[in-house]
Chains A and B, each alone.
Chain A
Amino acid sequence: MTPANKKRVLREMLFARRFEERCYEAYVERKIGGFLHLYPGQEACAQGVMEAARPGHDYVITGYRDHIHAIKCGADPKAVMAELYGKETGSSKGRGGSMHIFDVEHHFMGGYALVGGPFPLAAGIAKGLKMKGSDAISICFLGDAANNQGTFHESLNMAKVWNLPVLYVCENNLYGIGTRIDRSTAVVDQYKRVCGYDIPAAQVDGQDVEVVYQAAKTAVDHVRSGKGPYFLELMTYRYRGHSMSDSNAYRAKDEERMWGKRDPIIILRDRLVDAGEISLDDYKAMDTEILHQIESEIIKFAEESPEPSVDELEKYVLADNDPYVRGGVR
């Protein structure tokens, strides 16, 4: 990564952190409802992988912790926030909510709430890309606990058998809600589980965005060059509860402190400061500017946008006036 890129990456990760923290506040203010799963602590994962991929060109799909992945693909943060507010201007017109952000124009194929649901969908997108002769790849981000679903194994098997251009990224934050990985999962290192499908796999530090980027470059190149699927495991940690309804009482304080010291944003910031690329004052100015942007543009937009009309409650269930529904001879 060039110094200029590193500065941009730092800014984008800090933006992701502040965006999510602002969601937290809006939730407490009851502006956002439902389930809300936040990303702080894991920023280097989506960031590093998407630095190595082609955002807006490659297809990305993920679970319910999806705001930042959408934004990394090119979704407008205003539309994402408006979606959380349930507004008509939201990315899914207020019909989806936090767990169902979509931006198909930027090839962000959605957030899905069923743990493990996106595994086969990602393989299918890869199948379509292969049929069309596209050089885009399919990237699926999911958590560690999702790997205990049958869809994980079914999808890896099919992806390998059919040599599909799909990259599975496992953001291993060591927990599925309140259950620590070793209490639910026979083999704790997730990359090892993939060898049963003869798919190349790697495990790297998910807190250092440059490490993620390097590993993701290898992974993306492998998939894009037609060699088939790849599995990348990123060791990470979430700094908040699983969702807003999580008391977060199940984790040892020592463990939280240890990971707290490995904050992906601070790691990169300190590296840039040490290298003389930025000063701490630059960083503070960047932060102030981001906070201002979130307040004056993003929150303002979400607050001021209209809600969907109840008259359109039944829109989007099925296609409008699909000619083949009427039948006939052609």
Chain B
Amino acid sequence: MSDSLTVGILYSRIRRDEKLLLEALRERDHDVRKIDVRKERFDIEKPPEAFEDVDVLIDRCLSTSRSLYITRFAESYGIPIVNSAETAQVCADKAHNSLALKEAGVPTPRTEVAFTKETALEIVESFGYPCVLKPVIGSWGRLMAKIDSRDAAEAIFEHKATLGHYEHKVFYIQEFVEKGGRDIRVVALDGEPVAAMVRSSDHWLTNAAKGAETAEFELDDRALELVKKASDAVGGGLLGVDLMETGDDYTVHEVNHNVEFKALDGVVEENVPARLVDWLEENYAEGEQ
């Protein structure tokens, strides 16, 4: 038996995912403290009262910028946080994410970044059509473009350069992967998969948030190896690893640090939130740190 944990859930919206986690923690009689980050003040000298005596904080902030600061503050206060500031930093930005995967030897789609629309157009022309343009920050498939022609590329870059704020002046361009109409989402704890699903759609975006169909997926040895490597590449923790099938191998397009697991929990046998709680107990109970 593990001791009861005091777990601080940092949030600004309780999604279905947070609710599942809260329920699983309460079921095992852990002391759960919901901390609305919109109401907290973060002093560089000392932690807010809400952080007192917590064994571990879980960053469930929907907002990437909040997440980046909170993880950093928590570490400065010496309070364990899932995930770490380093992980948030890498995963928050698609360019950092791609670099980390590349550096770790994880296959990832060919990607280039440029800072002006003229240079972005050069990249697109050299990649050929179709190719993919993604905002470096953002999620749920929003503002992603599949570029089918030079005309389309020019129009999209013009719009971004004119209308977007500064992050949109970073052009992140990726080869289009023929992924067979689906991609794979794995929820992993320090590189150990909890469960995996495929997300299929006729649309090129197969995010669950975009309404893709989901089904449980059995990971083979190669996929297991890549999930572990991808997790290590961003510092481990509670992660969502996204892979596409390329025919003879996989390519990892990103690792999410604030992973949503409600869709996965809905399709797999495994009780995903219960596994998260097991992992918290193993790693953060008294004397386990």
Chains A and B bind each other: no
